[in-house]
Structure 1
Amino acid sequence: MALRLRLASKILILLSLVIAAAAAVLTTRRVGVQLDGSIVIPTGQMLTPAGTHIEVSDRPLGMVVSPDGRLLAVATGSNFAPRSLHLIDTAARSMFQTIPIGDSFVGVAFDRTGGSLYVGGGRDNDVKILERQADGTFRQTRSIRIPGSAPSGLALSADGRTLYAALNLKHSVAAIDLASGRFDEIEVGSYPYSVIASHRVYV
């Protein structure tokens, strides 16, 4: 009788372990966006942020709204995935255009009309210039190379003629004449990251 009780106890314990393991498998979730819109991160924690979520490439670093408020430009800078410039329709809250951009780093700026868009090229050592096309999309038309500079933050002068670029690896700021593509460099502190232009330029 005692032997039967011990055997029954062992079977019950084994069944309990199997059920617990099955429950653990059923409650395991993959890292990323879940069906209910929540997000599981690698630590196992769950995020339930508010608002509308629009997926972009890894590591969004810089963003700016167009002058008319209709587009949000987002520059990404992943070390593990292709870098892109995303244009989001703010009214529809949906992706309008995704543009492969080579390298990019932080800086993104519209001109006053919203017809030109500038992107800091990071390790490409350039400033990329994109123009709005007849159908409303943007296309890169040229770039201004600044060797060894890793352009990051960007800002336009009030008259729209000069683009200021923080040159992260040259510890300086470039004042770029957009008409000619020529630029002057002004030394600043180490590794400038962003820049703001008004009647003065702040780095």
Structure 2
Amino acid sequence: MSKQASFHRSWAFAVLTFGAVSTAAADEALTTNQPADTLSVVDLKTMKEVSVIKVGGKPAGIALSPDRSLAYVTAPDSKELIEVDAVARTVKRRLALGGAPLGVAAHPSKPEVYVADWYAHKVSVIDAERMAVVAEIPVGNSPSGLAVTPDGRLLLSADRDSDAVSIIDIAGRKQIESVSVGSRPFGITIDTAGQKAYTANVKSNDVTVIDIAERRVLGSLPTGRRPYAVALTGNLGFVTDQYGGTVTVFDLTTIKVVKTIDACDHPEGIEADQTSGNIYIACWGDNQLIRLDPETLTVVGKAKVGDGPRAFGKFLR
């Protein structure tokens, strides 16, 4: 069997079993360590770094295949998308993109990956079987975070320098709406129902809530300084306040702040384990991955990782 055929079969299996795989609790975290040019693999049970994968290119963004066996990492310095075998802990393939690849997202049920180009103001569509660009979709200025709706129909792009979010029809390969949000949106997260999106707006120090179907803003809430990204679990949202060293916790129903947690030095990437509810945060300044308990809203675990962890995207597997 050829390598390409083997890869196709692997992804097809992931598609067929996606519902079962996606509900499993995360065992590991993969943090992109930008100055270190590495990925740290952290065992979430022991909160210990168990492997280091050299990737190069100053890695920043990260997304996972449906079965979470492959990681897709953006490398802004080398202008690449890097495919990593998260099981074998090795780099599999590299795709030269040019520009400034930053945010990245993977389709939930088919072999496609989407990469935001900060300089070229576009999203590249990658065929993950062939590791090739198959389409380019113009969006607003300086797209950063990307997120795909659970049904795989829409892709949302946080267009930082346009103060807006692009809503993209994936099948049609086109932007169908631009929704104005706060100032300088960076991270974007979609809820598990695919109904609402949340942007972390780094200049206006707030989060904007979008009704995706109606393509309108539902409200906003204040955060700490320079919010970076948002995670959701239960009825709570969590925002990393990069310059504040805090995490803002808010109620998803009322869109009101319920607590501000002292977290770490420059918290950045954040993701919730949807099974356990635990929140994991990459701390750029401390070179740590920390765990928050969603019930007590306290830090309950810390793991040392490589220099300058960003983990911008989906990094739990």
Give the TM-score of the pair, scaled to structure 2. Answer: 0.45
Q: Match of 2:160? A: 168
User: Once the 2 structures are TM-superposed, how far is the Cα of residue 106 of structure 1 from its aligned partner?
Assistant: 3.0
Q: Match of 2:8? A: none
Q: Match of 2:68? A: 69
SS of structure 2 residue aligned to 1:108:
strand
Match for residue 83 of structure 2 among 49, 69, 87:
87
| Structure richer in helix, relative to its length | 1
SS of structure 1 residue aligned to 2:119:
helix
Q: Match of 1:142? A: 135
Over the residues paired in the alignment, what is the CA RMSD in angstroms? 2.0
Equivalences for residues 15-164 of structure 1 within 5 A? 50-78=49-77, 82-133=78-129, 137-146=130-139, 149-164=141-156
**Uncovered stretches (5+) of structure 2, i.e. residues with no partner:** 1-35, 38-47, 200-317
User: Once the 2 structures are TM-superposed, how far is the Cα of residue 178 of structure 1 from its aligned partner?
Assistant: 1.4
**Uncovered stretches (5+) of structure 1, i.e. residues with no partner:** 1-31, 34-48
Give the TM-score of the pair, scaled to structure 1. Answer: 0.68
Runs of 4+ in structure 1 displaced over 3 angstroms? none
Structure 1 or 2, whichever has the larger Rg, is 1
CA distance in 2, matches of 1:182, 1:196: 18
- Alignment deviations for residues 99-132 of structure 1 (CA, whole Å, 9 cap, x no partner): 1111234311110124000001110110000013
Counterpart of 2:167, as a letter, is A
Q: Match of 2:169? A: 177
Match for residue 190 of structure 1 among 178, 183, 186:
183
Contact in 2 for aligned 1:57/1:83 (Cα 8 Å): no
The percent identity for this pair of structures is 27
| Structure richer in strand, relative to its length | 2
User: Once the 2 structures are TM-superposed, how far is the Cα of residue 54 of structure 1 from its aligned partner?
Assistant: 1.9
